[in-house]
């Protein structure tokens, strides 16, 4: 007589993996972030390889994933080599961008991207204490911080869910992605926009 609306806070992140290398990151956290769990559905082949900034693992059909890299961590990016196209799926809770920061050291950092939406690079990195010469790159694009304009300039102009990035910082600091305003004041785009690009 009194219906109750039950809404789940769970989400499923699907990351397409290319044949060859893919740079990836997680925007959903789960109880089990082990390689064996998250990479189980991609049907890996002998020699498939994954690495973080400090560790790696390789797949063999008789032993599974073996190496110093055993679990994924949110806030970090990974480079995975797959001999086949596949979709990696991660079911869990979206990362709370209001309470989660990424510590950035001086030098190169392999960072993840937390948002569920595409975000303009200058909005996404607004809290990063950047200085002249700082750089960020995806697998195919890059941008550099221009101190005279206070903006990131280059071919990389949007951060994408599921992609991993390499960030070079001169000073280090904490990166905190902004909360998307309900008014839509930030330049957010759906993961699958209705428009297409004619390269």
φ, ψ of residue 71 to 5 degrees: the values are -135, 150
Render pLDDT for 2-41 as a digit per residue (tens, 0 to 9).
Answer: 998 887 778 889 999 999 999 999 999 988 999 988 998 8
Render pLDDT for 161-175 as a digit per residue (tens, 0 to 9).
Answer: 999 999 999 999 999
Residue 63, C-beta contacts closer than 8 angstroms, at least 6 positions apart: none
**What DSSP letter does each residue of 19-30 carry, written as one string?**
SEEEEEE-SEE-
Phi/psi-derived region of residue 149, left when phi > 0, alpha when psi is between -120 and 50, beta in every other case: alpha
The pLDDT of residue 186: 53
pLDDT confidence tier of residue 185, bands split at 50, 70 and 90: very low
Question: Contact 155/13 with Cβ under 8 angstroms?
Answer: no
pLDDT confidence tier of residue 198, bands split at 50, 70 and 90: confident
pLDDT confidence tier of residue 183, bands split at 50, 70 and 90: very low
φ, ψ of residue 40 to 5 degrees: the values are -65, -35
Question: Contact 37/120 with Cβ under 8 angstroms?
Answer: no
pTM: 0.84
Task: Of 117, 140, 125, 121, give the one whose Cα is nearest residue 176.
Answer: 125
pLDDT at 42 over 50: yes
Question: Contact 29/74 with Cβ under 8 angstroms?
Answer: yes
């Amino acid at each position: 007589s009194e219906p109750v609306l039950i809404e789940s806070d769970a989400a499923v992140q699907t990351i397409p993996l290319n044949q060859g290398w893919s740079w990836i990151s997680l925007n959903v956290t789960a109880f089990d972030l082990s390689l064996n769990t998250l990479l189980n559905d991609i049907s890996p082949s002998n020699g498939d390889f994954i690495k973080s900034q400090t560790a790696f693992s390789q797949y063999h059909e008789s032993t599974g994933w073996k190496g110093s890299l055993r679990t994924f961590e949110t806030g970090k990016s990974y480079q995975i080599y797959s001999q086949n196209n596949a979709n990696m799926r991660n079911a869990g809770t979206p990362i709370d961008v209001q309470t989660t920061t990424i510590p950035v050291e001086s030098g190169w950092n392999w960072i993840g991207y937390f948002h569920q939406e595409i975000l303009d690079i200058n909005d996404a990195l607004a809290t990063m204490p950047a200085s002249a010469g700082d750089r960020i790159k995806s697998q195919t694009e890059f941008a550099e911080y221009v101190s005279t304009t206070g903006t990131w300039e280059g071919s990389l102009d949007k951060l994408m869910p599921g992609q991993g990035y390499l960030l070079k910082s001169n000073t280090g600091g904490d990166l905190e992605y902004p909360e998307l305003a309900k008014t839509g004041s930030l330049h957010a785009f759906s993961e699958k926009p209705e428009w297409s690009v004619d390269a």
